[in-house]
Chain A
Amino acid sequence: MAPGRYARTAGLLTVILLAGVALTADALESISLKLGRVAGPGWTVDELESRLVWRDAQRAALLLTATQARLPEPLGTIGGLKLDCPDALIAADELACSHARLEFSSERIGPQQIRTGFRYRFSDRRLQLDLANIRLDGGRVSIKAVQAAHGWDLALQADGLQLDALAARLAAAGILPVLVKGVGTLAFSAQLKGTAARLDAGQVSARLQSSQFSDAEGSVAGENLELLVDATVTAHGASWGLSGELSVQQGQVYIDPVFVDATKTPVHASTRFDWHPGRRRISLHSFDYDQSKTVRLHADGSLDLDAPAPLEVLAVDVEEGTFPGLYNTYFQPWLNDTVLADLHTEGALAGQLHWQDGRLASARLQLDGLTINDREARFGVGGLDGRIDWAGQGPARPSQLAWEQAQVYRVPLGRSQLRVESAGSSVHLREPARIAVLDGELQVEEFELEYAPGAASSWHVDGILTPVSMSDLTRALGWPEFGGKLSGVIPNVNYRDGELAVGGMLLVRVFDGEVTLSNLRLAQPLSVVPRLWVDARASNIDLETLTRTFSFGRIEGRLDGRVDELRMESWRPVAFDAAFATPPGDKSRHRISQKAVDNISSIGGGGLSGAVSRSFMGFFKDFPYDRLGLSCRLENGTCQMDGVAPAAKGYYIVKSRLLPPRLDVIGYADRVDWESLVSQLIAVTRTQGAVVK
């Protein structure tokens, strides 16, 4: 608007002066006037001179000069004013000047040589004013203004405005934030219509091309950007109808924290809304946003800017959301402090979201072939389809989810389906779910989830785990492979305040015996440092199968044991109290091979001692034993070791029978570094072990 007001004021000034001169200089061939200072409300012109040379009855050459003019804001002060109109029409019904030149030097917009022309009709007081070639911010602006009885029209055309200069001007006026870098050009055209001081309708088209721009904090920035804007405004009584279209086909934009690469994913947005300045209300008729390969949505609603919750109603229809674009661009930046911070995503979703009085009132989402994989490999799901239906109030709504495959840490879950019902802040199962876990199945009879905004969620599961092959599970976990089955009744799994507690018991049938796991608790399961507590009992383990599996060297017999208060951090044990030994009164055959003896004696710093000398041992492949066992209490990285019975300066790991051949294995080290114990065990079970000669 600034150039328009400028033009109108300058035009008006010229007309008034011309009219005054024309009335008094009727019979002269030429007239020169020195008017000195001319002043009006808010403006003064110093040393104003005019010279009029008549060519015929109606035509004259006009020259108007002034040394300085102080004009109302935002025009400021101009100097060296010169208006040269070589062919002015001065008739009874009109004044006109078609090819005039206006020269001046402005403190705001520098020296100017403007092509100008005007026409004024006395009969209907119609004034037309053209100003072309106004130099502004490295570009050119032209103005066409018409003032008539019915109102005014203003057409503006600007080309090649330099972004840095323009931004500095707008920042000085408090319209835009200060740009620190801004290389680019702006072109625009505008058509405005109005009556008196009021704008009735307007239309603006602008094109911004910028190789680089940024504000001081870098929170709004762009590179190689090409942006097109079209906007119209129409007055409807006390309100305004606005519509606009924005298109970014090229370049990158960063509006903290959203980054859009428009070269790869062009953006088109359009909107239509009414603005009621008196009531401070916005009625959003439509907002359409389309970013290719990312999201296409439509929204409408209303806002009351004076209300405590300005958002009265908003309905958003996500017609298509495409991954990974949607996650990478619009979800991830807000999820940095959550477990969803770094996901690989694929697939698509659609949905309808409805806000009422500032709160999400209902949501409906359709998931289509979604893949979500945590890049830290903690969880993942593939081929996720489903329909989520949620409402803050009213009757429960059914939702369902189905996936082709999923994984929790390294444990794969097979194709499964969940049917749930949600109401308010709770979700529960509509029918028992069966979740495939390797070759077994987790049968979930009950599931209840409670969540509250800003509070930790909690859930509860009742289920049964049908037998899962240990060979599959151990392979999945990357452990040494062994046979057996894992199953369990888990009647009471609770998750609350970041801690998962498993009631009931998990049973592992392994090595012909049983291992039961109880008091299983898992804290911060998906955090950086997950912690696990569990108590384990082993009974009647067949040592032959066990030692064969781990190629430890053959031991025959049975083994009972316990691991109390096992604590794992980041899935590695940090503390436990464990003891394994031959069950009392065990009637099975008790034999231990040379290799096993050698392995036992080589780990844990134990010493080998026996009634039979080493050289003599070579005659026997294996030895009978009475009892064997070992205990370890792990704390602070150190294992406090003990055996089945005390021995001189040590403890018996293997205690012989009374009858020969007799062999006792005695451990002397009572404190062993856990890490080295584990690495020795691994070394022993991986190699064939030394042969005792």
Chain B
Amino acid sequence: MKTLRIPMTMLLILFAAACVTINVYFPAEAAEKAADRIIKDVYGEQPAPSQGPAAEPQSRLQPESVPARYRYSLLDWLVSPANAAADLSVNTPAISQLKADMEQRHRQLAPHYASGAVGMTHNGEIDIRDQTLIPLKDRNTVKQLVAKENRDRGALYTEIARANGHPEWESEIRQTFARRWVDNAPGGWWYSSASGSWKQK
């Protein structure tokens, strides 16, 4: 009996540890939904965006060998469902303020996305892709807009991570947004890959 008890205890500890670990995993799906809500508000009325690639499966971020469907039931059992089905909160005053500023700025930036002068980068920011497409007198204004947009986007990613009590999620939130900015954008806009090469959507 005693020999059996030790592995059982170990197993229980393992379970408890796994429970804690799983609970802080980045909720990829919720993040995509939250990103889409914000991005659609910023982009405003658009022609229907093409469907992006399917949401990143949550299991990818979880190194355990436990299959996803078991893990969910495990979670439900160990943690209250409300806690596990994490939704990303994006309703703090700071986020609303940032979003409002970005919405307003987007109206000035949109023609430059469409012309190809400005493109979306792989790290969730924007950059001047081809300044020859911007009239000389407007080039510094557009550079200023790009700098402000990147400042706000950086703050937005940080805020979302903070507002959800996980500052360490920032880079994952940034990556999620980077994908969703591109996926929600209308055709014809430009985006860059990690290697820095530009592609047109």
List chain A positions with a Cβ less than 8 A from chain B.
Answer: 180-181, 214, 216-219, 221-223, 252-254, 256-257, 259, 261, 332-333, 336-337, 341-342, 527-529, 569-574, 636-637, 675
Contact = CB atoms under 8 A, between A and B. Distances in A.
A214 B91 CA distance: 46
B151 interface: yes
A221 B89 contact: no
B130 A218 contact: yes
Contacts of A253: 136
Interface of B: 89, 91-94, 97-98, 101, 130-132, 134, 136-137, 139-140, 143-144, 147-148, 151-152, 155, 158-159
A569 B94 contact: yes
23 contacts: A216-B132, A218-B132, A218-B134, A222-B136, A223-B136, A256-B131, A259-B136, A259-B137, A261-B137, A332-B140, A333-B143, A336-B144, A336-B147, A341-B144, A342-B144, A529-B155, A529-B159, A569-B92, A569-B94, A570-B94, A571-B93, A573-B93, A574-B94
A528 B102 CA distance: 12
A259 B155 CA distance: 30
Contacts of A636: 89
A152 to B, nearest CB: 43
B143 to A, nearest CB: 6
Contacts of B147: 336-337, 341
Contacts of B152: 528
B103 to A, nearest CB: 15
A303 B152 CA distance: 42
User: Which of A180, A219, A529, A573: most chain B Cβ within 10 A?
Assistant: A529
Nearest to A636: B89
Given A216-B132, A675-B91, 9 more contacts: A218-B134, A336-B143, A341-B148, A342-B144, A569-B159, A572-B94, A574-B94, A636-B89, A637-B92
Nearest to A257: B140
Contacts of B159: 529, 569
B98 A259 contact: no
Given A527-B155, A570-B97, A214 B139 contact: no
Contacts of A259: 136-137, 139-140
B130 A342 contact: no
A105 B178 CA distance: 59
A529 B94 contact: yes
Contacts of B101: 528
Given A259-B137, A570-B94, A574-B93, A342 B132 contact: no
B132 A572 contact: no
A528 B98 contact: yes
Contacts of B92: 569, 574, 637
Nearest to A222: B136
B89 A637 contact: yes
B154 to A, nearest CB: 8
A85 to B, nearest CB: 51
Contacts of A221: 132, 136
User: Which of B98, B134, B140: most chain A Cβ within 10 A?
Assistant: B140
A581 B158 CA distance: 37
User: Which of A223, A257, A336, A636: most chain B Cβ within 10 A?
Assistant: A336
A573 B97 CA distance: 13
B151 to A, nearest CB: 6
A333 B137 contact: no
Given A221-B132, A252-B137, A569-B92, A332 B155 contact: no
A341 B151 CA distance: 11
Nearest to A529: B94
A218 B93 contact: no
Given A527-B155, A570-B94, A570-B97, A342 B137 contact: no
Contacts of B137: 252, 259, 261
B148 A570 contact: no
Nearest to A673: B91
Contacts of A219: 131
Contact of A252 (B89, B132, B134, B136): B136
Contact of A254 (B91, B136, B144): B136
A336 B151 CA distance: 10
B13 to A, nearest CB: 31
B46 to A, nearest CB: 25
A528 B139 contact: no
Nearest to A530: B94
A223 B132 CA distance: 12
Contacts of A527: 155
A254 B139 contact: yes
A257 B91 CA distance: 38
Contacts of A342: 144, 148
Contacts of B139: 218, 254, 257, 259
Nearest to B158: A529
Given A254-B136, A341-B144, A570 B151 contact: no
A407 B143 CA distance: 27
Contacts of B155: 527-529
A336 B146 CA distance: 9
A527 B152 CA distance: 10
Contact of A572 (B93, B130, B136, B151): B93
Contacts of A571: 93
B158 to A, nearest CB: 8
Contact of B93 (A214, A217, A570): A570
Contact of B131 (A218, A570, A572): A218
A528 B151 contact: yes
Contacts of A333: 140, 143
B138 to A, nearest CB: 9
B157 to A, nearest CB: 12
A435 B98 CA distance: 32
Nearest to A574: B92
A337 B154 CA distance: 12
B132 A214 contact: yes
A341 B137 CA distance: 17
Contacts of B94: 529, 569-570, 572, 574
A175 to B, nearest CB: 22
Nearest to B150: A337
B86 to A, nearest CB: 12
Contacts of A528: 97-98, 101, 151-152, 155
A481 B143 CA distance: 41
B113 to A, nearest CB: 17
Contacts of B158: 529
Contacts of A216: 132
A637 B140 CA distance: 40
B91 A637 contact: yes
Contact of B144 (A256, A332, A570): A332
Contacts of B91: 637, 675
A513 B68 CA distance: 60
Contacts of A254: 136, 139
Contacts of B89: 636-637
4 closest residue pairs by CB, A with B: A572-B93, A218-B132, A336-B147, A569-B94
B25 to A, nearest CB: 19
B140 A529 contact: no
Contacts of A637: 89, 91-92
Contacts of A181: 132
A294 to B, nearest CB: 14
A337 B93 contact: no
A224 to B, nearest CB: 10
Given A336-B147, A529-B159, A569-B92, A217 B131 contact: yes
A529 to B, nearest CB: 4
A292 B127 CA distance: 33
A222 B137 CA distance: 10
